[in-house]
Amino acid sequence: MSLKPEEVIKIFKDTGALLEGHFKLTSGLHSATYFQCAKVLQYPWHAETLCREIAEHFKNTNIETVVSPAVGGIVFGQEIARLLGVRAIFAERVEKQMTLRRGFDISPGERILLAEDVTTTGGSVKEVMSLAQERGAEIAAVTSVVDRSGGQAQFGVPYFSLFQMDVTNYDPENCPMCKAGSQAVKPGSRGLK
């Protein structure tokens, strides 16, 4: 990999995308650190830099389609697919369930790369995996820009991230920031209408 982890974190810091505070993550966990990838993506050259590394990693794996969970993974998935020269689609949550809409479909045997921006527990990716597997797809691999799971996210297929950061996450009932009276904020996209 030509892009070093410290270069990835520098992009996040330079764009103001690495936030410190008290956050409620999509997983429901709380953390003092939040990766706001949308702040990186406002600069298309940064999206291309990050996604080029991922596309380079998967260039010889016969990926046919990149599938991402909405909303966070859409732009990264699109850019990775562009660089691989393949199709990009996304799944979105409808009534608390990941669904393919907008005329998107997946064919039996189609080789899929699942692309997410940030992985904490891998819950959204696993939901999209199930959706693709129900349609007979072959999940070739999972990728993310940031793995903040501490290496705990497991998908049963190869997993590649550009950057792994050990970030402490807390169950809300055991969150020291909550116990100190701080209110968690939710800067992510879950719950968009």
Question: Hey, which residues does 170 pair with through a beta bridge?
Answer: 30
109 pLDDT more than 90:
yes
pLDDT for position 193:
43
Domains located in the chain, CATH noted? 43-166 (3.40.50.2020)
85: left (phi over 0), alpha (psi -120 to 50) or beta: left
Cα-flanking dihedrals φ and ψ of residue 188, to 5°?
-75, -165
88 pLDDT more than 60:
yes
pLDDT for position 192:
42
User: How far separated are the first and last CA of the chain, in Å rounded?
Assistant: 38
> For 39-50, what is the mean pLDDT?
94
* Average pLDDT score over the chain: 90
Cα-flanking dihedrals φ and ψ of residue 154, to 5°?
-125, 135
pLDDT for position 161:
93
In this prediction, what percent of the chain has a pLDDT beyond 90?
Answer: 60
- What is the distance between the alpha carbons of residues 90 and 69, in angstroms, rounded to a whole number? 6
191 pLDDT more than 90:
no
* pTM for this model (two decimals): 0.86
> For 69-87, what is the mean pLDDT?
94
33 pLDDT more than 60:
yes
The token duo for 22 is 């008290």
